[in-house]
Amino acid sequence: MAEMKIIQPPRLPRLPPTLAWRNGGITPTILLLRIAFTATNDPFASNCLYCNQQFCGFELPLLQPTIPLLRIVFTGAILHAIARGPSIMALKSPSKVDVDKVEDILNSLPEQEQDAVYRILYGRSPRDLALGVPAAARKLASSHNFDLQSYQFTAQSEGTRPPKIVRVGLIQNSIGLATTESVEAQRAAIHEKVRPLIQAAGEAGVNVICLQECWHMPFAFCTRERLPWSEFAEDARTGPSVLFCIQMAKQYRMVVICPILERDSTRGEVIWNTAVVINNDGAVLGIQRKNHIPRVGDFNESTYYCEGNTGHPVFHTAYGRIGIAVCYDRHHPLNWLMLQLNGAEIVFNPSATIAGLSEHLWSVEARNAAIANSYFTCAINRVGTEIFPNPFTSGDGGPAHNDMGPFYGSSYVTGPDGVRTPGLSRVRDGLLVVQMDLNLCRQVVDKWGYRLTQRIDHYAEEFARAAKHTYEPQVVRPKSHTEQESGQPQGQQPGRRECANHDCARLAVDCSKFH
């Protein structure tokens, strides 16, 4: 009998300390990722990614057919880790590596598998959504080092309605100077930083452009200091940042959504978080004030301003009906719903949010809103880490610090059918240009019937009851053995009527003692 040769698999080398996730070592994962992403006919023919030693004598002939699946599985694992990790793919000393875009990981897959993963995660492949932009716009992006991406959403052709084409632009940016510089210098630097992005949008034929929340200033509300940060507040019609956007609107004949820190001269100089809508002729069409104010972590915004009083207006422009949900408003489904009820076709969500808090939510919320409300949503987030002169605390027992952490950009657009674009860079300024056929909104309404079946009248009655301080939740509990035998709720004496002001069955003692 021939001697059986047993092949021993190689021992996994120890992962060097400079290549470790902050959430724990991933030596086995590194090995499997190497198999998934670099394997050809011999998955162990090339040198190891981290020890530079060549694997030899280890053959897994059954592994080869599973490689396409491994690529997809481990791409999902990376995305899950990115969503959870507070410092995305951050390496410990001596250096740090960051992911510019999540899509860079997906784009490392072979084309066929790449399309499959995008279809599963995003609804369609970026190749199916591709849209060209003029060379002048690309040249501006190259010379000013910002991320420029462009996509399109199409609708089925109709016999009674022509296509309703509009191009939107989303701008994300970091601040231009250190926060220790004067207010005027910081604001002017941001204006000049944003100018070439708006110019590129004009070259690309953008009709409606939206900047990030409080784009004209550092997001300094974490400090709880009144000065100098409240000096960035400006009038919604005559402030310097509004006048800058009015100039841009006139020059490029585009609607500009200009989110600012507003100083309200008509109401005793109070401050609001406000998005100013400027028409394509330069006239201020109206404002949307932030409806929901966060009180979480370093987002101490209620120190500066309160909930808005403008409701949920939808602005009728030459390019479509637009609504605005400012930053934290996106966490409230009813806010999105009210914009739908008021007829919005596109809703912009100018935001400022950080990696350690919300990045795992970012790709979900605006996309869910687009699906639930059958309109387009445009999510915009700033980039960069803003360092402030004085340390502050988060109220969580942690040490004082001088920054909130990185804003992660990743601005994107979702169609009413749930298909979304790739996101802009997580770390660089960027312009996202998206062409959309607004006829898609009604086509999705007809297909899915969400508005037909939403039963607003039913929920209006439920909400009216829930808004009262006497509201009792509609809860069904199993009956106790005593209740089943007597037919009376436990704690209620035979013959006693159910009390009007509370649920007797929830009391552990005879409720008559409380009357």
As annotated, the active-site residues are 213, 290, 327
Instruction: Say how many C-beta atoms besides its own lie within 10 A of residue 41's C-beta.
Output: 6
Q: How far apart are CA 333 and CA 366, in angstroms?
A: 10
Q: How far apart are CA 50 and CA 263, in angstroms?
A: 55
Q: In this structure, what token pair is assigned to residue 422?
A: 């790739």
Residues found in the chain: 515
DSSP code for 164: -
Residue with tokens 């002017």: 188
The Cα-based distances of 419 to 375, 376, 377, 498 in angstroms read 11, 10, 11, 52
Angle at which helix 111-122 crosses helix 67-84, to 10 degrees, equals 40
Pairing relation of β-strands 165-172 and 208-210?
parallel
Q: Which residues contact 461 (CB under 8 A, 6 or more apart)?
A: none
DSSP code for 424: -
Q: How far apart are CA 118 and CA 99, in angstroms?
A: 18
CA atoms within 13 A on the CB side of 284: 18
**At residue 174, what are phi and psi to the nearest 5 degrees?**
-95, 170
Q: In this structure, what token pair is assigned to residue 116?
A: 């499959």
The Cα-based distances of 133 to 148, 170, 378 in angstroms read 9, 15, 19
The Cα-based distances of 257 to 172, 378, 409 in angstroms read 13, 12, 18
Residue 94, preceding peptide bond in cis (omega within 30° of 0):
yes
Q: Which ranges constitute the DSSP H helices of 161-254?
A: 183-203, 240-252
Q: How far apart are CA 145 and CA 295, in angstroms?
A: 35
Q: How far apart are CA 469 and CA 453, in angstroms?
A: 29
Q: Contact 273/261 with Cβ under 8 angstroms?
A: yes
Q: How far apart are CA 378 and CA 320, in angstroms?
A: 14
